[in-house]
Amino acid sequence: MPFMTLSKATLVLFAASLILLLTQHVKAHSYADCIDWRFKDPKKPSWSDKHGACFGYARRFPLKAKPFAKLDSDNPNRHYQQSHKNPDPNHSLPCSDGRQGEEPGADETMANPISAAYNGKDKHGRKTGVQTVSKAGEKLCIRWPAKNHAVPSEKNQPVTIALSKVNPKKDPTQLQFLDNIIAELNYKNCTDKSKDTDIWSCGDCFKLPTNLKPGNVVMQWRWKLNSNEFYTSCADIKIEPPSITAPTVDIPSKTTSTFHTPTSASSASSASSAPSTSQIPSSASSALSASPTSASASPIAFSV
Ligand SMILES: *[C@@H]1O[C@H](CO)[C@@H](O)[C@H](O)[C@H]1NC(C)=O
Ligand SMILES: *[C@@H]1O[C@H](CO)[C@@H](O)[C@H](O)[C@H]1NC(C)=O
């Protein structure tokens, strides 16, 4: 009898620890850790803290609350699993409100003003990350923790990146996001793979559409783990106007002639018209067509 009770107790203990282990494993889910990751050395790109830095975050992202990859055990946990039946995940809440979903997650709804979700304090008084600032056509690199799901035995399930329209009044619905998926990323693109497969750092890069107008867009990171099982993170990206120099040089002298002609005229005469007058003594049209010739001619003119 004592043996029986002991083995029963052992069994219960074993079952309890197994359940604990399983629950911990179940909770190991990913989220967008950084929206604008920049590599220290672009020739040796790596997603680890040692080899890069983050310049833009998801909404109300608590900086330094936990080490990398551990925000799924924050309070509330960072990862948000969308409801499976709403009637399906395509209709569920796209950005966690901290209440809905299979696993509610932290509040990542749109702030009013948008900037209030950045560079401030969260509910616990912890400093939150800055907003991502970018431009149409620019590349963004997003980082996430593997959370044990980048190992060879796991299927490589995609991460999709979707955008709202510019300056929306509220968050798009999930269906609206699905209508504007701009990139599919490689979940298993991880570096610095240590023994602890939970904390592998992973990420991937994509380009923003070239036709984006300046303003704020909502970006959704959405990772599919199993069919019907999706995790999301939401961030606002501030799209700045294209840099001033490129378009003003492209559109010369019509309306802004008084301001721009001096510089463009002097640079044009010093660069192209000087060789072209000596070699090809003719009009502006020949200077355009002969620009490769004049470029190759000028070193010769200097060396002779
Ligand atoms: C959800 O949306 C995706 C992409 O538009 C589609 O492939 C999938 O069939 C949809 N799922 C359901 C249950 O409607
Ligand atoms: C994967 O990660 C590397 C950095 O390690 C990055 O340069 C690259 O763009 C990512 N994407 C792919 C598809 O390799």
Give the residue, 77 or 274, on which the prediction is more confident.
Answer: 77
- Which residues have C-beta within 8 Å of that of residue 101, sequence separation ≥ 6? 80, 81, 82, 83, 92, 93
Candidate of 82, 88, 90, 181 to mutate for ligand 1, largest count of ligand atoms within 8 Å of Cβ: 90
- Three-state SS at 115: helix
Domain extent at residue 80: 28-240
**Domains in the chain: how many in total?**
1
| Residue whose CA lies nearest to ligand 2 atom number 12 | 204
User: Which stretches within the chain are classed as H helix?
Assistant: 2-26, 174-178, 245-250, 257-268, 274-279, 284-289, 291-303
What's the whole-model pTM score? Answer: 0.76
Q: What is the pLDDT of residues 23-46, one digit of tens each?
A: 444 458 999 999 999 999 999 999
Q: Is residue 216 part of a domain?
A: yes
CATH code of the domain covering residue 230: 2.70.50
CB atoms within 10 A of CB 165: 14
Exposed/middle/buried for residue 280 (C-beta within 10 Å: 0-12, 13-18, 19+): middle
- Predicted local distance difference test score (pLDDT) of residue 141: 98
Q: Is residue 12 part of a domain?
A: no
User: Which stretches within 146-229 are classed as H helix?
Assistant: 174-178
- Predicted local distance difference test score (pLDDT) of residue 246: 55
Q: Is residue 170 part of a domain?
A: yes
Q: What is the pLDDT of residues 282-297, one digit of tens each?
A: 333 333 333 333 333 3
| Residue whose CA lies nearest to ligand 2 atom number 4 | 45
Q: Which residues form ligand 2's pocket by a CB distance below 6 Å?
A: 45-47, 186, 189, 191, 204-205
Q: What is the pLDDT of residues 158-179, one digit of tens each?
A: 999 999 999 999 999 999 999 9
- Predicted local distance difference test score (pLDDT) of residue 282: 39
Q: Is residue 108 part of a domain?
A: yes
